[in-house]
Amino acid sequence: MARLVLKFGGTSVANLDRIRNVARHVKREVDAGHQVAVVVSAMAGQTNMLVDLCRQAAPLHDAREYDAVVASGEQVTSGLLAIVLQEMGVNARSWQGWQIPMRTDGAHGAARIGEIDGERLIERISQGQVAVIAGFQGVAPDNRISTLGRGGSDTSAVAIAAAIKADRCDIYTDVDGVYTTDPRIVPTARRLDRVAFEEMLEMASLGAKVLQVRSVEMAMVHGVRTFVRSSFDDPDAPQTGIGNLPPGTLICDEDEIVEQQVVTGIAFAKDEAQISIRNVADKPGVAHAVFGPLAEANINVDMIVQNISPDGKTTDITFTVPETEYDRAMKVLEERRESVGFGAIEGARNVVKVSVIGIGMRSHAGIAAQCFRGLAEKGINIRAITTSEIKISVLIDSAYTELAVRTLHSLYGLDG
Amino acid sequence: MARLVLKFGGTSVANLDRIRNVARHVKREVDAGHQVAVVVSAMAGQTNMLVDLCRQAAPLHDAREYDAVVASGEQVTSGLLAIVLQEMGVNARSWQGWQIPMRTDGAHGAARIGEIDGERLIERISQGQVAVIAGFQGVAPDNRISTLGRGGSDTSAVAIAAAIKADRCDIYTDVDGVYTTDPRIVPTARRLDRVAFEEMLEMASLGAKVLQVRSVEMAMVHGVRTFVRSSFDDPDAPQTGIGNLPPGTLICDEDEIVEQQVVTGIAFAKDEAQISIRNVADKPGVAHAVFGPLAEANINVDMIVQNISPDGKTTDITFTVPETEYDRAMKVLEERRESVGFGAIEGARNVVKVSVIGIGMRSHAGIAAQCFRGLAEKGINIRAITTSEIKISVLIDSAYTELAVRTLHSLYGLDG
């Protein structure tokens, strides 16, 4: 007997037929003797429809009212799934965020989960009742409905799993697991059986869109074993995969990963733009003078590289921004050229960040050198490099994306 | 300065244009210095759509889950109206049933309102914030969403008005008030400026479909002055009617009605069927033996007439049932003919109950006689008669409906 959280996204509950399919997955786990909580999104299209209504009502609308309107989508799904489960003879009831309660901060529209009181849920699921929980929502300190922002249902599910001390949080999605890289680019990409939290965090934030970054962060902090699997699987198929798990990818503590690969995957983030500032005075406060105004303008800056200045007086700073923010970022910087004091500003659209990720890197030398040599052999120019303990990222021209990803995927022995 | 509750039904909030029109009505009252709470229904069609989803999910579904699903419709409208009001510069926020809280009993799907704590609402509206309340719903003792049953938003509005001690509850609807009878049958029907609670209760339960019976009952018990007016009125038109009120009908205590008419209106209920049981033993318990089984079969019995038995041994009982229940009722009775002991069962479909209503009847003699003579002069046969202090009801063949209603409408001087 295990305690499980199962999470189903919008396409998995798009209509009653699909909701019935979800119910069969739930029933299978109940029949296996597990205690089950289910977290559901709104039926596909509903959230967009409700968001549109709010926008039409007023372009700049109160986030608290937006939350009241938009959270209704998950409310509907939770009730319908409970009805379908009961029809199948499974004891079930729906839970809204305020009923649990799932407390969040007051940042309506993009709330962060605070304390979740898991007691009532634990009491009910221990009695064999399936808890069908409306994802994506909670209750703010002012007793009003809050939502977690788009994609927040993954985070809801992991947070619920932490609160009820679940053995595993199963994320049912439209892919059957986490791959060594995007299979659309590298047909030999393999599904990973296990990925460490830290690796998944890098992969999630670097463009592998399987899981929301926030949900992986939360899983790591609370040690929630998170299992990514396909909602299109036949619910009645035998649940046989590796290590007593059905087919999918387990995101877990590195201790659980017996044979750790040096490199786990190759991620890439398209739609980036590069900005380089030349001859910036090399003195305290200059980084803040550059990046402060960008932060104020709500421009998300990534991959900052600053070299030691050769003459001790000026240096160059390179960083990336989302391509859609490129023009705005350039304008913000031009306006401050004189006050901050720097030379030329150079930029390039159409760059891509390719990252080599692997927790095994920490104990293996030479991984970065291998990467640089591999790319050089293919004639791919590296525009900038950043590294962390478990990842190497290089910025290259986007025309070389596929070549670079395939080269690195082979180089580190990831081809299936 | 007054404290007002305004209630808008589904057609009044059917889309964002109509919601903007509602907001203009609200803004007018706020600009006039009033404290305002608004009660809204779901956007037209939404409740039916949600009910259909529940039915498709399972024909026999849990009423608690049905409530969670269906209540989402009003939640959406309340949020949208709050957004539109804010956009117009009116301070407003939405309230769900559980936030007020509006406590109900546990009869999910058809809950009855219990205690409403008006304190939080009063605090906010006293500060000039418009409360936009999701109608039709509350929170049951188990902390789950409850709904009041179809048409429950009128009842919500009156209950809120009682809880916050409102000066008036304005029901905006698709007619511009309560008429002396149905204007489609009697073109000379007049709008009534004022109607006493008791009269409205008779008119509501007798087929004038302006207000839900439950809402009128609640208005009477709590003395909530309820004003019926058209939601199609131009919100910016001058608010000039009779007695400092805009055009519409005020339902109020009879003390407020200075010039009381003897007869206020003529109501009629179509789609009735008559059943007569002959030669029933005239002894204690026989009424229960007849009507008990009908109640158990959930057949709504109306207008029961039993005469004193001429011989002291047997009597005849006549009553009406909805025409749709006629066959079922006849079957239930036939099955009990021997055990209860009665002679023939006779029935007639296509009968109509026509009622003359007026609180002034209490102090005027001869009203009933006038009615019977008027109908007799037109050759209309009366099948059965019941009376109360303020009403006379006659059962006639439905072919005579229009003739009878027009005759009585003229007879009591109601023609405009």
Mutate to test the interface with A, among B80, B123, B142, B144 (most CBs of A within 10 A): B80
Residues from chain B contacting residue A98 (CB–CB below 8 Å): 98
Instruction: Report the alpha-carbon distance of residue A212 to residue A180 in Å, rounded.
Output: 17
Q: Using CB atoms within 10 A of its CB, is residue A20 exposed (0-12), middle (13-18) or buried (19+)?
A: middle
Beta strand ranges found along B123-262 (DSSP E):
130-134, 137-139, 145-147, 168-173, 194-196, 226-230, 249-252
Region B247-263: mean pLDDT is: 89
Q: What is the CATH number of the domain that holds B325?
A: 3.30.2130.10
| Shortest CA gap B141–chain A (Å) | 12
Instruction: Report the alpha-carbon distance of residue A228 to residue A210 in Å, rounded.
Output: 8
Instruction: Report the alpha-carbon distance of residue A75 to residue B68 in Å, rounded.
Output: 7
Structural domain contains residue A137: yes
Region B152-180: mean pLDDT is: 94
Instruction: Report the alpha-carbon distance of residue B371 to residue A341 in Å, rounded.
Output: 99
| Shortest CA gap A47–chain B (Å) | 12
For residue B89, count other CB atoms closer than 10 A to its CB: 9
CB contact under 8 A, B87 and A54: no
Quote the percentage of chain A above a pLDDT of 90.
Answer: 72
What band does B52 get if pLDDT is binned at 50, 70 and 90? very high
The pLDDT assigned to A154 comes to 93
Residue-range definition of the domain harbouring residue B121: 3-254
Same domain, A26 and A160: yes
Same domain, B185 and B240: yes
Structural domain contains residue B244: yes
Same domain, A159 and A295: no
Between residues B387 and B69, the one the model is more confident about:
B69
pLDDT in tens, A92-125: 999 999 999 999 999 999 999 998 999 999 999 9
Q: Which residue of B has its CA nearest to A47?
A: B76
The annotated binding site of A is made up of: 7-10, 47, 74, 173-174, 179, 184, 209-210
Same domain, A250 and A270: no
Structural domain contains residue A318: yes
Instruction: Report the alpha-carbon distance of residue A102 to residue A133 in Å, rounded.
Output: 10
Same domain, B239 and B335: no
Beta-carbon pairs below 8 A across chains A and B: 111
Structural domain contains residue A112: yes
Residue A138, pLDDT above cutoff 90: yes
Please tell me if residue B95 touches chain A, with a CB cutoff of 8 Å.
Answer: no
Q: Which residue of B has its CA nearest to A101?
A: B143
What band does A130 get if pLDDT is binned at 50, 70 and 90? very high
The pLDDT assigned to A207 comes to 64
**Residues 75-94 (B) with a CB less than 8 A from some CB of A:** 75-76, 78-80, 82-84, 86-87, 93-94
Output the furthest CA–CA distance in chain A (Å, rounded): 76
Region A195-207: mean pLDDT is: 85
Candidate from B58, B72, B75 with C-beta closest to A83: B58
- Tell which of A187, A222, A255 closes a domain: A255
Number of domains in chain B: 2
The pLDDT assigned to B415 comes to 92
| Shortest CA gap B15–chain A (Å) | 9
Q: Are B100 and B121 in contact (CB under 8 A)?
A: yes
If DSSP codes are grouped into helix, strand and coil, which group holds residue A269? strand
Region B31-54: mean pLDDT is: 96
Instruction: Report the alpha-carbon distance of residue B253 to residue B198 in Å, rounded.
Output: 8
Instruction: Tell me how far CA of residue B104 lies from CA of A376, A403, B40, B123, B140, in angstroms.
Output: 73, 65, 18, 22, 5
Same domain, A227 and A299: no
Structural domain contains residue B368: yes
Single-letter amino acid, residue B396:
I
Same domain, A243 and A300: no
What band does B253 get if pLDDT is binned at 50, 70 and 90? very high
Please report where in the chains the tokens 């009534």 appear, as a residue. B192
Residues from chain A contacting residue B75 (CB–CB below 8 Å): 68-69, 71-72, 75
Residue B242, pLDDT above cutoff 80: no
Same domain, B247 and B293: no
Residue A208, pLDDT above cutoff 70: no
Residue A197, pLDDT above cutoff 80: yes
Structural domain contains residue A194: yes
pLDDT in tens, B211-239: 888 899 999 999 999 999 998 888 888 88
Please report where in the chains the tokens 């011989």 appear, as a residue. B311
Residue B342, pLDDT above cutoff 90: no
ipTM: 0.84
Residue A126, pLDDT above cutoff 80: yes
pLDDT in tens, B284-313: 888 888 899 999 888 889 889 887 777 778
Instruction: Report the alpha-carbon distance of residue A41 to residue B142 in Å, rounded.
Output: 24
Residues from chain B contacting residue A78 (CB–CB below 8 Å): 68
Q: Are B53 and A18 in contact (CB under 8 A)?
A: no
Instruction: Report the alpha-carbon distance of residue A140 to residue A120 in Å, rounded.
Output: 19
**How high is the mean pLDDT of chain B?**
92
Indicate the pairing of strand B249-252 with strand B102-104.
unpaired
Indicate the pairing of strand B249-252 with strand B113-116.
unpaired
Region B268-272: mean pLDDT is: 89
Backbone CA torsion sign across A290, A296, A297, A298: positive
- Tell which of B254, B279, B307 closes a domain: B254
CB contact under 8 A, A57 and B87: yes
Structural domain contains residue B416: no
Instruction: Supply φ then ψ for residue B346, to 5 degrees.
Output: -115, 150
Q: Which residue of A has its CA nearest to B99?
A: A143
Instruction: Tell me how far CA of residue A38 lies from CA of A182, B14, B36, B174, in angstroms.
Output: 28, 33, 40, 43
Q: Which of A125, A122, A133, A123 is nearest to A95 (CA)?
A: A133
Query: B206: which 2 tokens?
Result: 């007798």
Same domain, B144 and B213: yes
- Tell which of B219, B254, B289 closes a domain: B254
Structural domain contains residue B260: no
CB contact under 8 A, B57 and A94: no
Please tell me if residue B68 touches chain A, with a CB cutoff of 8 Å.
Answer: yes
What band does B271 get if pLDDT is binned at 50, 70 and 90? confident
Same domain, B247 and B280: no
The pLDDT assigned to A223 comes to 96
The pLDDT assigned to B283 comes to 79
Bridge partners, B354 (sequence order): B268, B394
Q: Are B131 and B124 in contact (CB under 8 A)?
A: yes
The pLDDT assigned to A391 comes to 92
Contacts of residue A337, defined as CB under 8 A and 6 or more positions apart, other chains included, come to A345
| Shortest CA gap B178–chain A (Å) | 33
Please tell me if residue A183 touches chain B, with a CB cutoff of 8 Å.
Answer: no
Same domain, B68 and B11: yes
CB contact under 8 A, B86 and A58: yes
Most confident of A86-95, A249-258, A358-367, B254-263: A86-95
Alpha helices in A127-171 (DSSP H): 152-163
Residues from chain A contacting residue B76 (CB–CB below 8 Å): 50, 53, 69, 72
The pLDDT assigned to B150 comes to 67
Same domain, A249 and A273: no
Cβ burial A105-124 (10 Å sphere, 16+ → b, else e) = eeebbebbbeebebeebbeb
Residue B107, pLDDT above cutoff 90: yes
What band does B207 get if pLDDT is binned at 50, 70 and 90? low
Instruction: Supply φ then ψ for residue B32, to 5 degrees.
Output: -80, 0
Q: What is the CATH number of the domain that holds A126?
A: 3.40.1160.10
Residues from chain B contacting residue A68 (CB–CB below 8 Å): 75, 78-79, 82, 94, 96
Instruction: Report the alpha-carbon distance of residue B157 to residue B5 in Å, rounded.
Output: 7
pLDDT in tens, A380-416: 999 999 988 899 999 999 999 999 999 999 999 999 8
Q: Which of A181-195, A236-250, A251-265 has the lowest mean pLDDT?
A: A236-250
What band does A210 get if pLDDT is binned at 50, 70 and 90? confident
